[in-house]
Amino acid sequence: MIQDVVTHDFVRELGVKEIHSGVCYGDWVDHPKGPELVSYSPIDGKEIARVVTADESDYELVVQKAQTAWKTWRMIPAPKRGEIVREIGLRLREKKSLLGRLVTLETGKILAEGEGEVQEMIDMADFAVGLSRQLYGLTLATERPLHRMMEQWHPLGPIGIVTAFNFPVAVWSWNALIAAVCGDTMIWKPSSKTPLTAIAVQEIVNGVMKAHGLSGVFNLIIGDSKTVGEKLTADTRIPLISATGSCRMGRRIGEVVGKRLGRSLLELGGNNAIIVMNDANPDLATRAILFGAVGTAGQRCTTTRRLIMLSGVADRLTDLLVKAYSQVPVGDPLDPKTLMGPLIDKDAVNKMTQALERVKAEGGEILFGGKVLEGPDYPGGCYVTPTIVKAHPKMEIIKEETFAPILYCFTVTNLDEAVALHNDVPQGLSSAIFTQNMHWLEKFLGPQGSDCGIANVNIGTSGAEIGGAFGGEKATGGGREAGSDAWKAYMRRQTVTINYGRELPLAQGIQFGTSG
Which residues, listed in sequence order, are joined to residue 243 by a DSSP beta bridge?
A: 162, 266
In this structure, which amino acid lies at residue 375? G
* Residue 9 clears pLDDT 90, i.e. is over it: no
% of the chain with per-residue pLDDT over 90: 94
CA 361 to chain centre: 33
- Beta-carbon count within 10 A of 478 CB: 18
* Residue 5 clears pLDDT 60, i.e. is over it: no
In this structure, which amino acid lies at residue 76? I
- Rounded distance, CA 168 to CA 114, Å? 10
- Beta-carbon count within 10 A of 45 CB: 14
pLDDT at 7: 53
Which residues neighbour 65 within 8 Å (Cβ) at sequence distance 6 or greater? Answer: 25, 26, 215, 216, 219
- Rounded distance, CA 512 to CA 432, Å? 58
Are the C-beta atoms of residues 313 and 418 closer than 8 Å to each other?
Answer: no
CA 316 to chain centre: 34
The pairing of beta strand 47-52 with beta strand 36-40: antiparallel
- Three-state SS string over 193-238 comes to CCHHHHHHHHHHHHHHHHHCCCCCCEEEECCCHHHHHHHHHHCCCC
Q: For residue 458, what is the DSSP state?
A: S
Q: What is the average pLDDT score of the chain?
A: 96
Catalytic-labelled residue, pool 24, 301, 382, 452? 301
* Residue 233 clears pLDDT 80, i.e. is over it: yes
% of the chain with per-residue pLDDT over 70: 98
Q: Which of 30, 35, 100, 87 is nearest to 218 (CA)?
A: 87
Confidence of residue 516 (pLDDT cuts 50, 70, 90): very low
The average pLDDT across 42-51 equals 95
Q: Which of 76, 372, 333, 375 is nearest to 209 (CA)?
A: 76
The pairing of beta strand 272-276 with beta strand 304-310: parallel
Angle of the 282-294 helix axis to the 311-326 helix axis, nearest 10: 50
> How many degrees, rounded to 5, is the angle at CA 459 between CA 310 and CA 393?
35
With residue 445 as reference, give the H or E element that holds it.
helix 438-445
Are the C-beta atoms of residues 241 and 233 closer than 8 Å to each other?
Answer: yes
The average pLDDT across 264-281 equals 98
Catalytic-labelled residue, pool 113, 117, 203, 267? 267
The pLDDT tens digits of the residues spanning 241-269 come to 999 999 999 999 999 999 999 999 999 99
pLDDT at 1: 36
3-class state of residue 240 by DSSP: strand
Q: Which of 139, 140, 145, 141 is nearest to 509 (CA)?
A: 145
The average pLDDT across 261-282 equals 97
Q: For residue 413, what is the DSSP state?
A: S
Q: Is 301 noted as a catalytic residue in this protein? A: yes
- Rounded distance, CA 213 to CA 174, Å? 24
* Residue 151 clears pLDDT 90, i.e. is over it: yes
- End-to-end Cα distance, the chain: 97
Which residues neighbour 446 within 8 Å (Cβ) at sequence distance 6 or greater? Answer: none
The average pLDDT across 386-410 equals 98
Confidence of residue 2 (pLDDT cuts 50, 70, 90): very low
pLDDT at 8: 60
In this structure, which amino acid lies at residue 302? T
Q: Which of 63, 53, 120, 43 is nearest to 343 (CA)?
A: 43
Are the C-beta atoms of residues 163 and 157 closer than 8 Å to each other?
Answer: no
- Transcribe 316-381 into DSSP letters: HHHHHHHHHHHT--BS-TTSTT-SB---SSHHHHHHHHHHHHHHHHTT-EEEE---B--STTSTTS
- Rounded distance, CA 472 to CA 477, Å? 6
Q: Which long-range contacts (CB under 8 A, 24 or more apart) does 255-261 make?
A: 256/230, 257/233, 260/234, 260/236
The pLDDT tens digits of the residues spanning 333-365 come to 999 999 999 999 999 999 999 999 999 999 999
Are the C-beta atoms of residues 214 and 73 closer than 8 Å to each other?
Answer: yes
CA contacts within 13 A on the Cβ side of 309 = 25
Are the C-beta atoms of residues 421 and 434 closer than 8 Å to each other?
Answer: no
Which residues, listed in sequence order, are joined to residue 421 by a DSSP beta bridge?
A: none
* Residue 377 clears pLDDT 50, i.e. is over it: yes
Across 213-239, b (16+ Cβ under 10 Å) vs e yields ebbbbbbbbbbbeebbbebbbebeebb
pLDDT at 515: 56
Q: Which of 213, 188, 210, 211 is nearest to 201 (CA)?
A: 188
